[in-house]
Amino acid sequence: MGKNKLKKFAEIEQMDHVFQFPFARLESEGFPLKGNWHMGFFNNNNPIVIEIGCGRGEYTVGLARRFPDRNFIGIDIKGARIHAGAKQALIDGLKNVAFLRTNVELLPFFFSSGEVEEIWITFPDPQMKKPRRRLTSTMFLDTYRKVLRPDGIINLKTDSPFLYTYTERLVRLNRLPVVANISDIYHTPEALTDILRIRTHYESQWLDRGLTIKYLAFSLPQYLDLTEPEEDDIPLDTYRSYGRNYNTRNQNDTIS
């Protein structure tokens, strides 16, 4: 492992607002802040919003700056990525930010039922070949429901036509109430709010390649058996099979 990565791991280890907990301890002792994030960490009763697969945590920090009366927790399995957002939150003196390094599948170990108000999922890998790893699959939605308040909102921001179509179908099939649905945010000026202007690391890369950015927000009722939509006829994102520098302007999902 590179020296830089080791340095980042050592730094987040020392940060009071970054939490990482080995699975063995989770199972034996439980996570001390589960059900107690409000008074045990944030010292207030403000709503808690989590960002899943936060990477460098641009949404976690960006939302925290804009909404001091809400609490934000960025969650990712990769510590070196979390380091960037965690450091930025310190530089900004933000008291309403925390980061959690874990696999999202373990969310119910870290939050009690209804403790989370809202979820952001920003530019997840669409996992076209591995639906069980897809962060908007019914399996993950069921996991989110274990911690999300009833009818809490899920916000998905993505470059992926495949993931957008799949999630739209899932929402429609299960009659989940849609809060917003914009297929190209940067060409829909009336919909481009200050919040949607927050730009993540991956988003910048996809924009540089000429891709359109999509936003879908829906609420998640507590009691409902969720069904997976058909996905065999959804076209795969061809651009993902190319290297980062591949110019996508000739692809059919580009912007002019």
Ligand X SMILES: C[S@@+](CC[C@H](N)C(=O)[O-])C[C@H]1O[C@@H](n2cnc3c(N)ncnc32)[C@H](O)[C@@H]1O
**Quick check: 124 binds ligand X (CB under 6 A)?**
yes
Q: What's the CA angle centered on 193, arms 249 and 163, to 5 degrees?
A: 50
Which residue lies nearer to ligand X by CB, 2 or 93?
A: 2
Active-site residue identified among 69, 92, 125, 142: 125
Q: Which residue in 41, 50, 76, 237 binds ligand X (CB under 6 A)? A: 76
Instruction: Determine if 78 is a binding residue for ligand X (CB under 6 A).
Output: yes
Q: Which residue has the tokens 């609420």?
A: 219
Residues with Cβ within 8 Å of 256's Cβ and at least 6 positions away in sequence, in order, are none
Q: Is 151 labeled as catalytic in the residue annotation? A: no
Going by C-alpha positions, the residue among 18, 27, 22, 23 that lies closest to residue 75 is 18
Under a CB-based contact definition with an 8 Å cutoff, are residues 248 and 209 in contact?
yes
Of 61 and 220, CB closest to ligand X: 61
Q: How far is the CB of 135 from ligand X (least distance, A)?
A: 6
Window 163 to 202, contacts with ligand X (CB under 6 A) = 200-202
**Contacts to ligand X from residues 5-34, by CB under 6 A:** none
Q: Residue 127 or residue 254: which is nearer to ligand X going by CB?
A: 127
Q: Least separation, in Å, of the C-beta of 100 and ligand X?
A: 9
Q: List the one residue from 42, 55, 73, 239 that touches ligand X (CB under 6 A).
A: 55
At 141, the amino acid letter reads: L
User: To the nearest whole angstrom, how small is the minimum distance from the Cβ of residue 124 to ligand X?
Assistant: 5
Rule CB under 6 A: is residue 95 a binding residue for ligand X? no
Annotate 123-144 with DSSP letters as a single string: S----SS-GGG-TTSHHHHHHH
Q: Which residues are catalytic?
A: 125
**Residues that bind ligand X in the complex, under the rule CB under 6 A:** 53-56, 76-78, 81, 103-105, 122-125, 200-203
